[in-house]
Amino acid sequence: MLRVMFLLRKFDPSTGLSKFVVETTRRMNSIEPVLVTNKIRDGMKDDPRISHLKVYEIGGSAGRFLFKWSRIEEIVRKEKIGLINVHGGFLSSLAIPSLAKIGIPIVFTSHTNKLSVGEFRHLFFMDIFREYKLFLDVGDVILSLILPRKCISRSLRNPLLNHVSYPTPSEVSKMRLFLPGMKVSALPSGGVDPSIFKPSVDARNDGTILFFGRARLIRGADVTIRAFEKVHLKYPKLKLQLLLLEDIDSHRIKKMVRNSKARGAIDIQIGENHDINGIIALSTIVVLPFRWPRGMPSHPLTLLEAMSCRCVCISSNVAAIPDIIIDNFNGFLLQNPENPNELVGMIVRAINSNSDEIGNNARDTVIEKYSWQSIAGNLESTLLALAKV
């Protein structure tokens, strides 16, 4: 049995990157996972979702990726770790040279593609000042633009780094050109369990549009509300349901709903909803107009969960979403997610579409490409093969 250290900065099983580690490791048969992280979310150490993991919380700065290297090496020796699997993005890859000093093989699993200036095109100026994470992302962009070859060469050309995986085939192609001889593969950064997120046998609620996820404006709740106000004029019986997890923009979104001209047709709930699976399954149209591809997996879990429930999904042309959604086949793809008028047009298209056909195509896409079982199997095969090299 191979013991693998899964290394990430901050661990919260309800968020994308951490959920990826939880869902993939619990489906592995030939690997004993050991999780090492700077910080575990309060109250999560005894969470039954991570009972299969041996967990080490080592402190340090989760935000600036400062690990206690001597502590990591101590855990490697104590647990007889055979391989280290680093999870994260560009900044996380900068840890590889220090990890290499431990002297065991390393696999880097990236959950984001390399940042580019173009990804800022949908951001509002104040977004950067509201979200501390965007400061890190801005720094990430500056590093990847000014020192791309130096940083990547030092981190990803390390002789103990055996394999690199990126979320999208396009990024894999680029990295294969830049890293000749390196094993580079595509691995989705998010998945879903189709046996849990499945269509309801009950009649769907055709009169409601659903938006769900964290209460952050960069996920498009504000644009959704403005677009709904216009759609509601044409379809006065239509409702908008906002199911949000508490986050930095909770109060702003609640204020937008209170001040909305269509506030009587908008239902907003903030907090954990234990019936979220059932609510998604009963929804016909789900709107997720992400403006910023960071702070979430390149393959957003909310989108995959809704598609798995056979919903007609409207999302945006950021991150890996264009690899998931084929416009008018298994969903609808926004080109300009900060433009409420484009979203209005997409919602009208979705209302008048063949929802059964698009929903069936959406679920088929998820089952074929994005089930946790499939992703876990691919990652496990990679780790086992590299451990034998």
pLDDT in tens, 77-117: 999 999 999 998 766 777 888 888 889 999 999 887 655 54
SS3 string, 18-73, reads HHHHHHHHCCCCCEEEEEEEEEECCCCCCCHHHCCCEEEECCCECCCCECCHHHHH
Question: Domain for residue 74, yes or no?
Answer: yes
Percentage of the chain surpassing pLDDT 90? 56
Q: How far apart are CA 302 and CA 256, in angstroms?
A: 22
**CB-based contact 105:75 (threshold 8 Å):** no
Beta-strand pair 266-270/239-245: parallel
| 163 shares its domain with 95 | yes
Q: Which of 375, 369, 316, 320 is nearest to 113 (CA)?
A: 320
Beta-strand pair 183-186/205-214: unpaired
| 174 shares its domain with 228 | no
Question: Domain for residue 19, yes or no?
Answer: yes
Question: Domain for residue 210, yes or no?
Answer: yes
Give the end-to-end CA distance of the chain in Å, rounded to a whole number: 16
What pLDDT shows up at residue 148?
A: 47
| Token representation of residue 320 | 């890996």
Q: Does the predicted model carry a pTM greater than 0.85?
A: yes
Reported as type and span, the H/E element at residue 9 is: strand 2-11
Question: Domain for residue 92, yes or no?
Answer: yes
CATH number of the domain to which 19 belongs? 3.40.50.2000
Question: Domain for residue 48, yes or no?
Answer: yes
Length of the chain: 389
Q: What is the DSSP string of 69-98?
A: HHHHHHHHHHHT--EEEEEESHHHHTTHHH
9-25: pLDDT as tens digits:
888 887 788 999 999 99
| 376 shares its domain with 364 | no
Higher pLDDT, 302 or 292: 302
pLDDT reading at 158 higher than 90? no
What pLDDT shows up at residue 150?
A: 47
Strand pairing partners for 108? Answer: 86, 164
User: Cβ contacts of residue 97 below 8 Å, gap of 6+?
Assistant: 154, 155, 158
| 90 shares its domain with 239 | no
pLDDT reading at 338 higher than 70? yes
Question: Domain for residue 95, yes or no?
Answer: yes
Q: How far apart are CA 185 and CA 317, in angstroms?
A: 23
pLDDT reading at 350 higher than 90? yes
Q: How far apart are CA 10 and CA 12, in angstroms?
A: 7
| 156 shares its domain with 283 | no
**Could you tell me the pLDDT band of residue 149, with boundaries at 50, 70 and 90?**
very low
What pLDDT shows up at residue 125?
A: 47
What pLDDT shows up at residue 301?
A: 92
| 16 shares its domain with 38 | yes
Higher pLDDT, 113 or 238: 238
| 75 shares its domain with 168 | yes
| 66 shares its domain with 155 | yes
Q: How far apart are CA 291 and CA 310, in angstroms?
A: 24
Residue 362: domain span: 205-369
Q: How far apart are CA 376 and CA 368, in angstroms?
A: 14
Give the residue-averaged pLDDT of 358-368. 97
| 34 shares its domain with 159 | yes
What pLDDT shows up at residue 155?
A: 65
Question: Domain for residue 125, yes or no?
Answer: no
| 98 shares its domain with 8 | yes
Beta carbons within 10 angstroms of residue 216's beta carbon: 26
Task: Evaluate the CA torsion angle 98, 92, 151, 322 in order and state its sign.
Answer: positive
What pLDDT shows up at residue 135?
A: 43
| 265 shares its domain with 306 | yes
For 170, which DSSP code?
H
Question: Domain for residue 304, yes or no?
Answer: yes
**Could you tell me the pLDDT band of residue 121, with boundaries at 50, 70 and 90?**
low
- Count structural domains, the chain: 2
| 185 shares its domain with 212 | no
Q: Which of 252, 172, 258 is nearest to 219 (CA)?
A: 252
Of 103-112, 168-177, 329-338, the poorest mean pLDDT is in: 168-177
E strands, 238-317, where? 239-245, 266-270, 283-288, 312-316
Q: What is the DSSP string of 197-235?
A: S---SSPPEEEEEEEEEES-GGGTHHHHHHHHHHHHHH-
What is the CA angle 330-333-339, rounded to 5? 150
What pLDDT shows up at residue 157?
A: 72
